[in-house]
Amino acid sequence: MAKNQRYTNALHIAVPAPRDVKSGDAVRVGSICGVAQIDAKSGEKVTLWLDGSWTLQVTGALATVGLPVYITTAGALNTTATGNYLFGIALGTKAAAAGPVEVAPIGYTTQTAVGA
């Protein structure tokens, strides 16, 4: 049996925080998108959950379930693709103002900023 395994499914991982984060914040680290489970200062280890669904603040209208949600370099979620990164998929709908909606993070991905 291999003795070097770190995570069974790697869905709940610890990575360096890209900025100061609070528990419940959406976080993107390179090609990893998830939700912080603990507070962490920039550069400290933060535990991210890459699975499940979360009620998160998103700016912009989501007219139907299944639309993409994007994350800015500052960690804000919105519905604007240009210059942002895909973070997850909306599991609810909402009006254009900033507000809560259920989002499933995409976990691992290979991407560049959309429209960059």
**Tens-level pLDDT at each residue, the chain (116 residues):** 788 887 778 899 999 999 999 999 999 999 999 999 999 999 999 999 999 999 999 999 999 999 999 999 999 999 999 999 999 999 999 999 999 999 999 998 877 777 65
The pair phi, psi for residue 90, each rounded to 5°, is -70, 135
Domain ranges of the chain: 12-108
| Residue 56, amino acid | L
- The enclosing H or E element of 77 equals strand 77-78
**pTM for the full model?**
0.90
**Beta bridge partner(s), residue 34:** 27
Q: Which token pair is 70?
A: 């994007």
Q: Can you state the percent helix, strand and coil of the chain, rounding each to 5?
A: 0, 45, 55
